[in-house]
Amino acid sequence: MATTSRFPLVRPLAVLAALLALSPALAQPTLGLIASPFTGGWPDLTLAASLPFATYESAEGPVEFAARLDVTLPVDLSALPAVGLGATGTFVSHDMLQPYFGLGARLGWLPAPTEALYVTPTLLVGLRVPLDPTWAVRVEGNVAPLQGGFGVGVGVDLFL
């Protein structure tokens, strides 16, 4: 007989804490906050966490590939949060401007009156400007074609 835990999030949170504890030895994770003001309604806020997993030497210099987890919520809390999971590639050899691209999927809820669950692929492109070894600013655009959404966001990154 299967048992259920009183604390169903303990195991995933423990794994996340272990990954964050080990990540300084593996790679430099990033935590970002992005505001997307042009959504057709209230602005969206996105919390984005990235963990690099590979580096590829291209003709333009090293490209850092990272797993990215996004949680997006409208500022007025009119909808449930959307959760996105994807992969990004960042051209890290550029000191001042670091372009990046990404591909992933998002799970979320359509706004009222529909209030239906959706899953859509997502594409993003952006530009990150490191200010020092700890902070960076970013501008990014994203498209969710099956959901009919697109956005342009401005944010800050914290290198952990």
Sign of CA dihedral 95, 101, 107, 109: positive
Which 3 state secondary structure label does DSSP give 77? coil
Residue 48 lies in a domain: yes
Of 100 and 115, which is predicted with more confidence?
A: 100
Q: How many CB atoms sit inside 10 A of residue 15's CB?
A: 10
**Which of 38-47, 52-61, 100-109 tops mean pLDDT?**
100-109
In the predicted model, what is the mean pLDDT of the chain? 81
> Would you place residue 20 in the very low, low, confident or very high pLDDT band (cuts 50, 70, 90)?
low
Looking up residue 126, the CATH number of its domain turns out to be: 2.40.160.20
The domain total for the chain is: 1
Prediction pTM value: 0.75
In Å, the largest CA–CA distance within the chain is 58
Provide the domain limits for residue 155. Answer: 24-159
Residue 59 lies in a domain: yes
Residue 130 lies in a domain: yes
Region 131-155: what's the mean pLDDT? Answer: 86
Residue 17 lies in a domain: no
Q: What is the DSSP string of 82-108?
A: EEEEEEEEEETT-SS-EEEEEEEEEEE
Region 121-147: what's the mean pLDDT? Answer: 89
Residue 51 lies in a domain: yes
Residue 77 lies in a domain: yes
Is the confidence at residue 45, as pLDDT, over 70?
A: yes
Residue 44 lies in a domain: yes
